[in-house]
Structure 1
Amino acid sequence: MADSTPATSEVLVVGAGPTGLMLANILGGYGHSVTVLEARDTLIDYPRGVGLDDESLRTIQSIGLVEQVRPHTTPQHIMRLVNGRGKSIIINNPQTDEFGWERKHGFIQPEVDRELFNGLSRFDNVNVHFGHEVLDVEETADSVTAIARSTDASGNAVETRFEAQYLVGCEGGKSPTRKRLGVSFEGESPSTRWLVVDVNNDPLGTPNVFLGADPERPYVSIGLPHAVRRWEFMLHDDETEEQATDPEFVNQMLAAHVPDPSTLNYIRRRVFTHHARVAGSFRKGRQIIAGDAAHLMPVWMGQGWNSGMRDATNLGWKLATILSGQASDKLLDTFTEERRDHAKAMVDLSLTMGKVIKITNPLVVIARDTASSVLNLFPSVKSYFADMRFKPMPRYVKGVLADPSTKASGTANGKLTSKLIPFTTANTTVSPVGVQFIQPKVRTDELGTVLLDEAVGKWWTLLVWGNDPVDVLPARTLAKLEELGARLVAVVPETQYAWAKRDMHEDTLVLSDTTGRLKKWFDDRPTPMLLIRPDRFVAGACLNQDGPQTIDAVLAALDFQGAPRTAAVVSPATAN
């Protein structure tokens, strides 16, 4: 039986995994209608991802679900890479909280995914349909329609049409959406297989992560929230999947880790193979892919779940911009431009880490362990690993950006090249454009002390150090920022807060730099004016006199159409 009258919404999300659920939350928060179609009857209820980073938690903060998610996390999740004798080769314990949260967390993915799902109940314009498998998609110049199969109460198959302006496939590595688009999925699937064992009532009780680079059998041991423990063991070529999941075999694997494996409360025992692949493009026409549908990576850096969050964060505000009429859908081309290179960098890093762990040649193992011992004697090298500086942070060089030196639109060099004295005397020549802005705490009389994003809201922000934006920008530029819906923000030292509140324009949000961390950021960089995107990446950075040209360049990269957003999104009262 087929229903010929399509159900309509602005965006169709295929797949109720973490990326799809996050994207639906972001779009719902911006007031847009979303339909989520999930082939399964329920959310997946067994553990998968185990690492949640500070960027993802900042995104969760932006949709108002931090308090719901935090109980399912272990902050400051330390990782130790140990050799076959149990000696630490590398300790990864980053102390930074530049984005407002601890750099690394252990987490229980099913519980966090469920909180993302529960969060959708806040939005009348977001609907989730379980048990709906998308069979085909029809696309026209103006819309996209998914034909989905479900089963009615009598067990009969029903086909339903769902129409929208855009479809986003978030169905995982075997994504039918990606296959329909016909884009490449380049990379490799290493032949090494791993046995994953999850148990309740953690028999060890030690927190954090141990990566065992043991040439006899590499392993992973991870302490997780809610008293869950995960082990992963590399399988030898002659060990079958049936053998590996046999209880006796699993008990043998755990004999060196647990006093009595036979008493464990198992959640699952499963064999899997790592994949390292990235799609050639994340968009074709009105169909887009995100999360594992766009990139698959080995587990070693715990970045699969987090990369999906980055995709949703990048894509969500862009779809909202297009749907509100502020930009054409050429903006969607920047999704691939901005996200693909970083996703590939994380895939490559994860592969490299896996190769370090999986070494079994005795001579190579000795060389690795010796080199690690020597390098650990140098503080700068130890800090490099401890602070996780080897992890490539997202830096966009093409997309919705303006170069701070040349004012070129759509591109941003990683270095500042201006010959003006403020640039040549700066403490750093690294450009802040294309990277995520920091999130320290700030203070206002009305809000008290809060994280920066809580104060400025979730749309565009024009942030200026020590000056009122209204006083340093011409009326024509201020009018464009108003059309964009940008919040005008002045940041001052605590000592100047009373003066700024009294003398600055009433539409300017004045923030006190109560910790001094914002002053330190601006001390080091000759860019006291920032245009910050909804995903908290810096789109433009400049001296105050260069503000109009820089803002125009960013708007050109955005393909800004000048249409005002809905009051529900622009209003400062609802933007926080």
Structure 2
Amino acid sequence: MTSVSQHPDDGASENLADVAIVGYGPVGQALALKLAHGGHRVVVIERWPQLYGLPRAVGLDHEAMRVLQSLDIIDEFEANTCLSHVYEWRNGQGELLVAFPGLDETAESGWPRQFGFSQPALERLLDERIGRAYADRVTVHRNLTVVAATQHPDKVVLETRPTGEMDGKPRPIAARYVVGCDGAGSFVRDAMGASLVDLGFVADWLVVDVQPRDPSQWSADVIQVCDPQGPTTMVPGGPGRRRFEFMMLAGEQKDEQNNPQAAWARLERWGWTPTNAILERHAVYTFRAAVADRWRRERLMIAGDAAHLTPPFAAQGLCAGLRDVIALAWRLDAVLRGEAEETLLDSYGPERQAHATALIEFAVMLGKIICVLDPAKAAERDQQLRHDAGRGEQKWPAPRLGRSPLVREDDPGAGWLGVQGRVQLGDRTARLDDLIGSGFVLIGHGHDPSATLTAEQRQFLARIGATAIGIGGSCAARDVDGTYARWFQQLGTTAVLVRPDFYVFGSGDAPVLVSDLMAAWKRDVSTFTAEAA
């Protein structure tokens, strides 16, 4: 049941949280951690009694790893990841059609471009981090389901009941803001009156996870088999695990395929049987492409699969959810601390919706190429892929954020993902975020960018928790690998202002950048949208 209403006040709950998060998967966990780190009181409502212990997502990119870096779990988490070198597309006969190399090369965010990982391990580490560091700020209610939401001028009251006991005693939970990280069937999205907009892809796939009995037989190969008789995906699911995804064809029924016998029958083609592998999980998923038409309604917001669904061909599902986390957390932090008006939250949806849509459309494009079932058309596709493979490097897209006041207008460097390089500062050499944190950063190339700021501008940067740093040249911070020198040469400027979500607010003259941010800080996105129309 979905219910939302508005009421002036009912006096419910004495223990008002800053933020209530519905859903305790990795997106909800990461958001809870970010907000708790900022000193905010968080309550989480999770409908299941414990963490889900089986694999789901298996791919993360460099940008997602930078988000996890900011959560102080990365050293432990890396042991549960693996690197691959190349993403290969092959035809049904095993012949190479096209390759996307460089998955293990360091990308813009300072991490290798693509990782395989174990989601249960990630969820366990996030949960342990919350319990170890922020037990006094984060309360997790398990086995509770949200059944109604009532908005008040200063809070939202959620009515919850024990999962599966709709006649059970209701329990009200109140918070200043509510974020739905509650998946594809999101209660919060429905409560907002938002809808999923279909982006043109629906297909059922049997997803199977195995563990080789002999660890030496495991590989990190990433292979897409473009076979009209049965498109198949084979990827690592972290160390010691392999993920197989088999497209279901016309006439195949979910209940006939979602069982161990059907899974082993498909795995046998690829050399896996009960004698050499352990079947860890099998499930039939409907791969969909969709994005929510709105991401915020007053004090209700959504993130993760509640806001967008993507086919897995670009491994961007959880990556997009973690981008939502880092984009929303800094905005909520500023509003909750009283350093910004609530209108700062208005830009979250327009920015993220455009970015997520671009990557979903890319995944859909890949899917439509992969899932050709007509043999003649598949042969034509194979020929075209071979032809295209010889025309240059194959690259994944890196979209720009959607327009908003927090993306500087008429600035070619604004709205794009910023870089993170290794920096030597004093006796420490590390990725930049490990040295200065991940708030707003004003970076000068070869000079201190704060030197030309006014006192008012310095005060503003201090108030929003920003850092100013010069890198390279005679500055104390040394550009170890030349990352920042290359970036500034590409931008054609000597200063850049990077937001806490790692995207560029703008590039150019430092005082002008800060002045423009001060103006944008108070600008209502609805006014901006009207002007741009």
Q: TM-score, normalised by structure 2?
A: 0.90
Which of 398, 417, 442 is matched with 1:436 structurally?
Answer: 417
Shift of 1:55: 0.4
The residue number in structure 2 matching 1:449 is 429
Q: Which moved more, 1:363-372 or 1:195-204?
A: 195-204
C-alpha displacement of 1:255: 2.2
Q: Could you give the per-residue CA deviations for residues 61-104 of structure 1, whole angstroms, max 9, x where no partner exists?
A: 11211012111111245321111111111212223422110010
Give the Cα–Cα distance (whole angstroms) in 1 for the partners of residues 285 and 211 of structure 2. 20
Q: 1:166 aligned to 2:177?
A: yes
% same residue: 30
8 Å Cα contact 1:277/1:295 also seen in 2: yes
Q: Deviations over 1:478-518 (max 9, x none)?
A: 2332333321211123xx3xxx5xxxxxxxxx311222221
> Which amino acid letter does the alignment assign opposite residue 110 of structure 1?
P
Which deviations, in whole Å up to 9, do the C-alpha atoms of 1:173-196 show, x marking residues without a partner?
A: 000111111112110574532111
Match of 2:407 among 397, 401, 413: 401
The 8 Å contact of residues 465 and 490 in structure 1, kept in 2 or not, is answered as yes
Q: Is the 8 A contact 1:396 1:435 kept in 2?
A: no
Q: Distance in 1 between matches of 2:226 and 2:209?
A: 20
Name the amino acid aligned to 1:173: A
How far 1:301 sits from its partner (Å)? 0.9
CA shift in 2, pair 1:34/1:77, >3 Å: farther
**CA–CA distance in structure 2, aligned partners of residues 246 and 477 of structure 1:** 63
Alpha-carbon separation, structure 1, partners of 2:254 and 2:517: 53
Distance 1:262 1:242, change over 3 A: farther
* Cα distance in 2 between the residues matched to 1:59 and 1:43: 21
C-alpha contact 2:420 2:483 (8 A) present in aligned 1: no
1:442 partner letter: V
- Counterparts in 2 of 1:62 and 1:84: CA distance versus 1, 3 Å: same
Deviations 1:283-317 (A, max 9, x none): 00100011000111111111111100000010000
Distance 1:490 1:195, change over 3 A: same
Counterparts of 1:250-399 in structure 2 under 5 Å?
A: 250-258=263-271, 260-261=273-274, 264-378=277-391, 380=392, 383=393, 385=394, 389-399=395-405
My pick for the range that moved more, 449-458 or 548-557, is 548-557
Q: 1:522 & 1:226 partners in 2: Cα distance?
A: 37
Query: Which residue in 2 is equivalent to 1:571?
Result: none
Q: Which residue of 2 aligns with 1:565?
A: none
Counterpart for residue 97 of structure 1: 107
Give the aligned partner of residue 178 of structure 1: 189
Q: Does 1:12 align with 2:25?
A: no
Q: Is the 8 A contact 1:173 1:292 kept in 2?
A: yes
Shift of 1:262: 6.1
Show the counterpart of 2:52.
44
* Structure whose CA Rg is larger: 1
Deviation at 1:156, TM superposition (A): 9.3
Aligned to 2:118: 108
**Deviation of residue 474 (structure 1)?**
2.7
1:553 aligns with one of 497, 510, 516: 516
What are the equivalent positions in structure 2 for 1:181-192 lying under 5 Å apart?
181-187=192-198, 190-192=201-203
Provide the rounded CA distance (Å) in 1 between the counterparts of 2:194 and 2:275: 47
TM-score using structure 1 length: 0.84
Superposition deviation, residue 322 in structure 1: 0.3
Aligned counterpart, 1:521: 487
Tell me if structure 1 keeps the 8 A contact 2:144–2:162: yes
Q: 1:245 to 1:323 in 2, by over 3 A?
A: same
Number of equivalenced pairs: 508
Name stretches of at least 5 consecutive residues in structure 1 with no aligned partner: 403-411, 417-430, 501-509, 562-576
Aligned pair partner of 1:201 in 189, 192, 212:
212
- Partner Cα separation in structure 1 for residue 442 and residue 203 of structure 2: 49
Letter of the 1:440 counterpart: G
Judge which range, 111-120 or 279-288, deviates more.
Answer: 111-120
1:142 is matched with 154
Q: Report the residue type matching 2:75 in the other structure.
A: E
Root-mean-square deviation over aligned CA pairs:
2.3
Q: What's the secondary structure of 1:10's corresponding residue?
A: strand
Shift of 1:6: 4.4
- Is the 1:326–1:560 Cα contact (8 Å) retained in structure 2? no
Encode CA deviations 1:7-41: one digit per residue, 9 max, x unaligned.
32100000001111111111111111111110111
1:332 counterpart SS class:
helix
Contact 2:59–2:237 under 8 Å retained in 1: no
Distance 2:191 2:14 in 1: 21
SS state at 2:111 partner: coil
Name the counterpart of 2:505.
539
Q: 8 Å contact 1:13–1:34 — kept in the other structure?
A: yes
SS at match of 2:271: coil
2:116 matched to 1:127? no
Aligned partner of 1:569 in structure 2 is none
Q: Distance in 2 between matches of 1:89 and 1:558?
A: 49
Question: Which secondary structure state, in structure 1, belongs to the residue aligned with residue 468 of structure 2?
Answer: strand
Aligned equivalent of 1:511: 477
* Paired position in structure 1 for 2:470: 490
Name the aligned partner's letter for residue 478 of structure 2. S
Q: Rate the CA distance shift 1:340–1:42 in 2: closer, same or farther, 3 A.
A: same
Deviations 1:403-436 (A, max 9, x none): xxxxxxxxx34xx5xxxxxxxxxxxxxx221122
The answer on 1:212 being equivalent to 2:222 is: no
Q: Deviations over 1:311-331 (max 9, x none)?
A: 001000000000011111111
Aligned to 1:460: 440
Alpha-carbon distance in structure 2 between the residues aligned to 1:76 and 1:555: 43
What's the offset of the Cα at 1:208? 2.3
Q: Which residue of 1 aligns with 2:37?
A: 29
Question: Where do 5+ consecutive residues of structure 2 fail to align?
Answer: 1-10, 525-533
* Cα separation, 2, equivalents of 1:464 and 1:250: 55
CA–CA distance in structure 1, aligned partners of residues 259 and 141 of structure 2:
36
State the alpha-carbon separation in 2 of the partners of residues 53 and 6 from structure 1: 42
Paired with 1:69 and 1:238, the residues of 2 have a C-alpha distance of 42
- Would the alpha carbon gap of residues 485 and 141 (structure 1) be closer, same or farther in structure 2, given more than 3 Å must change? same
8 Å Cα contact 1:463-1:529 kept in structure 2: yes
